[in-house]
Chain A
């Protein structure tokens, strides 16, 4: 417990908040990396996931590849990429993108697939094109699940972006590594607390977004969905 107090004290120290190694800078870098990684991963993963969910083609392949991709250890991948690309941000960003893709992709195809088939057929019957079908029906109905994928990806990336400090002077991971190596465990725990707080904040924001999407997707079932939501965070 005293270690925890030491960590809080470390956080309360004003000099730790400013400067190039200050908490403000590190938090900003951490958020920046997370956003960058999730946006790039989404640009890659969402179209593929939507296509797979809509057509039902390539599902086996995607599920297999995703299963394998989830098992890739990010630190190992980071070291390999680092040996190829050198130090700096490139290697950790690519490794984190590979970490984020499975959740996003799984969310996308599961979301699109989950759209009620009767509704989809009805939409087709009233003359919607495939593009309209995807945009207006499948994405709207699948949004809660797709956002669930985003939630999972964001959480993983926030927690794992600490590895960026393995080869670059960037992010909250700096406190973890510096604390670990110098036995300054107060600093290390303070870094971990910051990562946790950031993750919780992101989780709250995304949960709110997900709830809104859920209400929009099935207004009639609002009550039921809301009670389900509380325990059903990032599962996709």
Chain B
């Protein structure tokens, strides 16, 4: 019994340790710059490398304009950090329109980009506001191999109806019950697929399974550089099964008009390809977020 518990604990610890691994130096994110106007703006980020990069872009853009910032990166999931924003401990946070709207309004009907953004503006509680949404998106998508797409002429999710072979979807186990899994696919598009769990959130095991043909459909983030690297294609979601998910800054009243203008300029300049490129610099080249952010700001002429 003791042995079993020990094995279990070690297994769990290993799981969390592995899940927590990522690129980027955790020591890099604690510093705050002392110069600038008034109280520092506290910037947070999700525990997701791409979110950390965007936060770092905000931080450096603000610093370039003389604001002082306090970096509180890699905080965790929405359930943890949104209350901190609401209580005023964090001032600025890069968010994603769809998932954030669903956090505040789980039953929202909005799916397409502008609807989601408008609803989000109304859903934000007092003391918090969303700034301009960026063209850059990072959302779940059904992904297939290029070969599969060409063989069956699949460009949109509707086209899956043309596939006569049985298909299996591979994704984290939560997808099995969620609206973006096989159930939602059946309801919204009338397409039947099987399901197999692959618990690496669209990571290398999922890509391998796609390439092996063990699964035909996977749920992978559109801004994931592995899509391009592995000749995969995200198929179009014409019915809005997945919520539009644009990068959008969530700000508290501590973010003044000047800072808002700086961040809005950054959001407007950040294109989907830019986000993809920055993610690639992190995943493929293992560069720290600060360097990736500096590089992009210089290129976009904002740093």
Interface residues of chain A, those whose CB is within 8 Å of chain B, are: 73-76, 79, 82-83, 86-88, 152, 155-156, 158-160, 162-163, 165-169, 174, 177-178, 181-182, 192, 195-196, 199-200, 203, 233-234
Contact between B173 and A165, CB atoms less than 8 A apart: yes
Contact residue range for chain B? 20 to 34
Q: How far is the CB of B82 from chain A (nearest CB, A)?
A: 15
Contact between B197 and A86, CB atoms less than 8 A apart: no
Contact between A160 and B7, CB atoms less than 8 A apart: yes
In the bound assembly, the distance between CA atoms of A177 and B200 in angstroms comes to: 11
Contacts of B14 in A (CB 8 A): 73-76
Looking at the complex, which one of A76, A83, A158, A169 makes contact with B195 (CB distance below 8 Å)? A169
In the bound assembly, the distance between CA atoms of A160 and B13 in angstroms comes to: 13
Contact between B199 and A83, CB atoms less than 8 A apart: no
- The secondary structure that dominates the A interface is helix
* Given A75-B14, A152-B3, A83-B174 contact (CB < 8 Å): no
Contact between A233 and B173, CB atoms less than 8 A apart: no
User: 8 tightest A-B contacts by CB?
Assistant: A181-B174, A178-B173, A86-B212, A87-B209, A159-B7, A177-B173, A182-B174, A166-B199
Scan residues 34-50 of chain B and give those whose CB is less than 8 A from a CB of chain A: none
Looking at the complex, which one of B11, B176, B200, B205 makes contact with A160 (CB distance below 8 Å)? B11
In the bound assembly, the distance between CA atoms of A203 and B4 in angstroms comes to: 10
Contacts of A156 in B (CB 8 A): 3-4, 7
Contact between B3 and A168, CB atoms less than 8 A apart: no
In the bound assembly, the distance between CA atoms of A38 and B79 in angstroms comes to: 41
In the bound assembly, the distance between CA atoms of A163 and B197 in angstroms comes to: 11
Contacts of B198 in A (CB 8 A): 87, 166-167
Contact between A87 and B208, CB atoms less than 8 A apart: yes
Asked if B215 is at the interface (CB within 8 A of a chain A CB), the reply is yes
